């Protein structure tokens, strides 16, 4: 079975990966657009895709940091909204989940 320590380790590894990815994306997004018009259009499209990827990475980073904080506090595995236990299967699928499935769905 997963121990909280294992989960924390996995989350930190994922966090490092995401941080690296965001840094890389930041760097790519800062490149000046190519002067050639056709390539400029492609650059703009891939720029949008990179921005979307960067945004989702940043969201995940924020969720991981929140989960790590809750591990430190000892409240990991308890729904942040209703206080119910978060199902183990859910935590295995989404280790940084801080809400139970009902709250995550319904808000
Ligand atoms: Zn809940």
Distance 79 CA to ligand 1 centre (A): 5
- For 1-59, the pLDDT digits (tens) are 468 888 999 999 999 999 999 999 998 888 776 666 666 666 767 888 889 999 999 99
**85 C-alpha to ligand 1 centroid (Å):** 8
CA of 97 to the centre of ligand 1 (A): 11
* DSSP assignment of the chain: ---HHHHHHHHHHHHHHHHHHHHHHHHHHHSPPPSSHHHHHHHHHHHHHHHHHHHHHHHHHHHHHHHHHHHHHT-TTB-TTT-PBPPHHHHHH-TT--S-HHHHHH-
How far is the centre of ligand 1, averaged over its atoms, from the C-alpha of 22 (Å)?
30
Output the CA 15–ligand 1 centroid distance in Å: 24
State residue 1's pLDDT score: 47
């Amino acid at each position: 079975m997963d121990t909280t320590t294992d989960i924390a380790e996995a989350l930190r590894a994922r966090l490092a990966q995401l941080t690296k990815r965001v840094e890389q994306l930041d760097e790519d997004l800062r490149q000046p657009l190519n002067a050639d018009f056709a390539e400029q259009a492609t650059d703009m499209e891939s720029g949008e895709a990179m921005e979307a990827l960067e945004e989702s990475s940043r969201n995940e980073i924020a969720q991981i940091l929140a989960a790590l904080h809750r591990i430190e506090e000892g409240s990991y595995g308890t729904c942040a909204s209703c206080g119910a236990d978060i199902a183990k299967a859910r935590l295995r699928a989404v280790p940084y989940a801080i809400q139970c499935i009902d709250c995550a769905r319904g808000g």
